[in-house]
Amino acid sequence: MARYSNSPFSRIRQGDILRDIQYVEDAFLDEDGLLGISYIQFPFVVVLSQDCDLASDVRSRGKDPEENEAKVSTDAIVESILVCPAYERDLFIAGEHLSEIGLIKMQSWKVKSRDWEFIVGNRDQRYHFLSGSKELGTNDMVVDFKHFYTISRLRLYKDYPSHYVGTLGELYREQISQRFAYFLSRIGLPDE
């Protein structure tokens, strides 16, 4: 099975990789009375909402993904879509992948280390390694499961046609989905 495909679909799918996605983090009035809108632009994100939920959402809206009113049923609509940013490998290794949003002390990694091998092999539960693809024009990337965001479905559907990069193959999509769910459901025990 191919690791990726790059066939845009009629709707957003779980496992879609999107480019240059904006996440609005705050809206505020500053000291001069100006309305500020602060957002983070992520070079790449992976969609992790359940695919059946995304399908039901579109069906509920009458098959037009950009339709924001539920025409058929309101029971199965989703208002936001879950995504995880994917960071470029080299920046991630250097711990500099979030330096432009003020997080300058991220962990760095030694390439020839057991820890990095674990990340590349998807054996570190916090991270998910995505191999680069010539077809998609992407470098190796790393997803950090501690970083996840929800974006308005309407916003994401407006961006989808021009921001679509590719889609994880079905098995690889299931793999990242399951690993993400496992990471979020881990049980934190008190330090003894």
Applying CB under 8 A, what is the total number of residues that bind another protein?
33
174 touches another protein (CB under 8 A): no
Binding segment for another protein (CB under 8 A), chosen from 71-79, 87-95, 107-115, 166-174, is 87-95
Question: H-helix or E-strand containing 59?
Answer: helix 51-60
Rounded to 5°, the CA angle 65-69-71 comes to: 90
| Choices 9-17, 25-33, 104-112, 170-178; region in contact with another protein by CB under 8 A | 25-33
Q: Which is nearer to another protein, 25 or 69 (CB)?
A: 25
Backbone phi, psi, residue 157, to 5°: -70, -35
Q: Is 97 helix (H, G, I), strand (E, B) or coil?
A: coil
Q: Please identify which residue in 8, 13, 40, 174 interacts with another protein, judged by CB under 8 A.
A: 40
Nearer to another protein, 80 or 139 (CB): 139
Closer Cβ to another protein, 137 or 178, answer by number: 137
Q: Would you count residue 108 as binding another protein (CB under 8 A)?
A: no
Cα dihedral 175→179→185→191 (10° resolution): 160
Query: How far, rounded to the nearest angstrom, does the alpha carbon of residue 83 sit from its chain's CA centroid?
Result: 3
**96, 118, 120, 170: residue in contact with another protein (rule CB under 8 A):** 96
Residue from the set 1, 7, 29, 190 that interacts with another protein by CB under 8 A: 29
Query: Residue from 3, 13, 43, 116 that binds another protein (CB under 8 A)?
Result: 43
Q: What does residue 17 show for φ and ψ, rounded to 5 degrees?
A: -110, 125
Residue 142 contacts another protein per CB under 8 A: no
Identity of the residue, 140 or 170, whose beta carbon is nearer to another protein in the bound complex: 140
Task: Tell whether residue 1 is a contact of another protein (CB under 8 A).
Answer: no
Q: Sign of the CA dihedral 182, 188, 189, 192?
A: positive
> Residues with Cβ < 8 Å from 149, sequence gap 6 or more?
23, 45, 82, 83, 84, 85
Q: How far is CA 110 from the centre of its chain?
A: 25
